[in-house]
């Protein structure tokens, strides 16, 4: 279906991959993985023809319909959300217009065999492209991705950036092409939408090639992994868990082979050095020199960097960490209407509990965390923090408080006055700000780098209650794994909002479900919560 052979691509002298090859067959679901900067997005652009390879070839079998979902959705305006999705296939829009013109001409008496033949051709193609049920499909996909029917006819420019990403994703899915390329489709989705998308893609008969930082999402869908890393493209036949294990096995085998080769090379080089000056051994020396010249040296690539840190030991808090008593929150909309978020919320979070706060987008998860953190006032009732509780708060909007004109080092230094520069540099190094990276201005940092910088600032003052609102956004899978391990070792209480199911399954000891204007608490792991609520 898609054959990539001998692919080489470089930018400004930096090689992304050399002589890379892989194949994607009809209906295959394939994951694309690799560290940030390895060239995943560039590979997508090569596959859709936005860029050209330095050498090698990309061949599609026949005339495939290919759709590409990228993080750069462009400017969406001038249509409703539903119209935007329907117009995802420009050919459909053209055919619909032409069919209407011919039908109007026929009604006006402009009858001819040529016109009828053209109408038949257009209608056949329109039907083949799904034109007669595209509106139904568009509405179904939008709703599945969380854009509810009452919002389908809203102007697309009235949606926020995250919701525009959902509309752009719906544009791709509704076309049902033979091949879909997707760059981080789960980034702006809540858990319910991720589960819906996973189910939709499982039923989709076409091929899918995608990147995702969501481990469970990859494991549930893909049967092949293509890794781009250290200038090479490597294929693994299995899901993400299989890839991770197989990658380690292959690396261990490569290290062992390299060590054997190094031992052999050392012996040969010692022989050459010992007998190079002896005429009686000249032929043997020359033979071994030629032999060494022909040997391909086994290269063991350095292991990928990932976040490496542990939380400082926090002071002990009281046993009752957060107490909610008849809590309620009502917002007043710009039109002056009251919108109830939740009411009569009563519950207790105890020391060392790790609470997952779950619910659909807009249910009030972030609002609940902000009230507990003291950033937003409750409308009614009380939220109380227990004795000796020191709170640390992280949110995806925390990045907004970073000063774009300061360096990474200056940002952390401003928050910690009593630590040495050496401590600060070690802390930043743990979050992958190494060498000159500490002098990068905040304005040029990526989303992932800003996330890591905010997480680093949480470490500067020991907290015994961490409130984390989407801490995994922009972190790759390996960095998420390290964060999970650090949070497991954290000797305090945690409340988390995350759309990463693997993250929640690894950590949760209690679940707070925000739904239907209330909050229900469930004791036990996230898996136990899913079983009890029938959400598996």
Structure tokens at 526: 């996230």
Other Cβ atoms less than 10 A from the Cβ of 4: the count is: 21
Q: In what order do the strands lie in the sheet with 224-229?
A: 66-69, 179-183, 207-211, 29-33, 224-229, 232-236
Beta strands in 244-318 (DSSP E): none
What CATH architecture applies to the domain 320-533?
3-Layer(aba) Sandwich (3.40)
Total-model pTM:
0.82
Domain pair 1-64+178-238 / 320-533, same fold = yes
CA dist 506 → 481, 488, 510 (Å) = 10, 8, 12
Whether 441 and 404 have beta carbons less than 8 Å apart is answered as yes
Residue 60 neighbours by CB under 8 Å, 6+ apart: 1, 2, 66, 179
Q: Computed from CA positions of residues 300, 306, 312, 313, in that sequence, does the dihedral angle turn out positive or negative?
A: negative
Whether 93 and 171 have beta carbons less than 8 Å apart is answered as no
The CATH class that applies to domain 1-64+178-238 reads alpha beta
Other Cβ atoms less than 10 A from the Cβ of 242: the count is: 16
Residue (of 485, 476, 423) closest to 446 by Cα position: 476
Distance CA 366, CA 376 (A): 10
Strand pairing category for 2-11 and 14-24: antiparallel
Structure tokens at 428: 């930043």
Residue (of 160, 106, 224) closest to 397 by Cα position: 160
Please report where in the chains the tokens 């549930």 appear, as a residue: 220
Domain ranges of the chain: 1-64+178-238, 243-294, 320-533
Please report where in the chains the tokens 């907290």 appear, as a residue: 463
pLDDT tens for the chain, residues 1 to 536: 899 999 999 988 889 999 999 999 999 999 999 887 789 999 999 999 999 999 999 999 888 889 999 888 777 888 899 989 988 887 887 888 889 899 988 888 887 888 899 999 999 988 887 788 888 889 999 999 999 999 999 999 998 888 999 999 999 999 888 999 999 999 888 888 999 999 999 999 999 999 999 999 999 999 999 999 988 999 999 999 999 999 999 989 988 998 999 999 999 889 898 888 887 788 888 888 888 888 888 877 777 666 666 667 889 999 999 999 999 999 887 777 888 999 999 999 999 999 999 988 788 999 999 999 999 999 999 999 999 999 999 987 677 778 899 999 998 888 777 778 888 888 888 788 888 889 999 998 877 788 888 888 776 777 999 999 998 887 888 888 888 888 888 899 999 999 999 999 999 999 999 998 899 999 999 999 999 987 66
């Amino acid at each position: 279906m898609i054959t990539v052979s001998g692919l080489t691509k470089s930018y400004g002298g930096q090689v992304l991959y050399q002589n890379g090859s892989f194949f994607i067959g009809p209906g295959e679901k394939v994951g694309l993985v690799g560290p940030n900067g390895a060239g995943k997005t560039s590979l997508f652009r090569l596959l859709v023809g936005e860029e050209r390879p330095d050498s090698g070839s990309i061949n599609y079998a026949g005339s495939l319909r290919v759709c590409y979902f990228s993080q750069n959705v462009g400017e969406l305006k001038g249509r409703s959300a539903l119209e935007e999705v329907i117009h995802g296939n420009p050919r459909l829009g053209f055919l619909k217009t032409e069919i209407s013109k011919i039908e109007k001409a026929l009604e006006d008496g402009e009858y001819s065999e040529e016109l009828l033949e053209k109408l038949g051709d257009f209608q056949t193609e329109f039907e083949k492209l799904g034109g007669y049920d595209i509106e139904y499909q568009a509405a179904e996909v939008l709703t599945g991705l969380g854009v509810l029917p009452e919002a389908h006819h809203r102007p697309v420019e009235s949606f926020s950036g995250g919701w525009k990403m959902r509309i752009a994703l719906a544009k791709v899915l509704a076309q049902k092409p033979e091949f879909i390329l997707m760059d981080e489709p789960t980034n702006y989705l809540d858990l319910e939408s991720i589960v819906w998308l996973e189910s939709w893609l499982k039923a989709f008969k076409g091929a899918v090639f995608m990147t995702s930082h969501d481990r469970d999402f990859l494991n549930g869908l893909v049967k092949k992994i293509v890794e781009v890393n250290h200038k090479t493209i490597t294929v693994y036949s299995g899901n993400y868990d299989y890839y991770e294990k197989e990658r380690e096995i292959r690396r261990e085998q490569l290290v062992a082979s390299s060590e054997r080769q190094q031992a052999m090379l050392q012996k040969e080089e010692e022989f050459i050095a010992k007998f190079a000056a002896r005429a009686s051994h000249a032929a043997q020396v020359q033979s071994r020199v030629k032999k060494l010249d022909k040997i391909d040296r086994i290269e063991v690539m350095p292991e990928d960097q990932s976040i490496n840190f542990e939380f400082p030991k926090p002071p002990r808090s009281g046993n009752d960490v957060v107490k909610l008593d008849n809590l309620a929150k009502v917002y007043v909309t710009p039109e002056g209407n009251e919108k109830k978020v939740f009411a009569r919320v009563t519950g207790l979070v105890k020391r060392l509990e790790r609470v997952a706060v779950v619910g659909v987008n807009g249910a009030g998860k972030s609002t609940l965390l902000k009230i507990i953190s003291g950033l937003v006032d409750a409308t009614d009732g009380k939220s109380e923090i227990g004795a000796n509780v020191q709170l640390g708060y992280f949110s995806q909007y925390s990045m907004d408080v970073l000063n774009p004109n300061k360096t990474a080092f200056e940002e952390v230094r401003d928050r910690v006055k009593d630590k040495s520069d050496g401590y600060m540099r070690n802390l930043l190094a743990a979050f992958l700000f190494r060498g000159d990276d500490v002098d990068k201005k905040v304005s040029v940092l990526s989303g992932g780098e800003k996330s890591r910088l905010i997480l680093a600032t949480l470490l500067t003052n020991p907290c015994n209650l961490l409130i984390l609102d989407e801490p995994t956004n922009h972190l790759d899978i390996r960095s998420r794994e390290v964060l999970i391990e650090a949070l497991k070792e954290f000797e305090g209480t945690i409340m988390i909002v995350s759309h990463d199911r693997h993250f929640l399954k690894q950590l949760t000891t209690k679940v707070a479900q925000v739904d239907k204007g209330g909050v229900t608490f469930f004791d036990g792991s996230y898996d136990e919560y899913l079983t009890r609520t029938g959400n598996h």
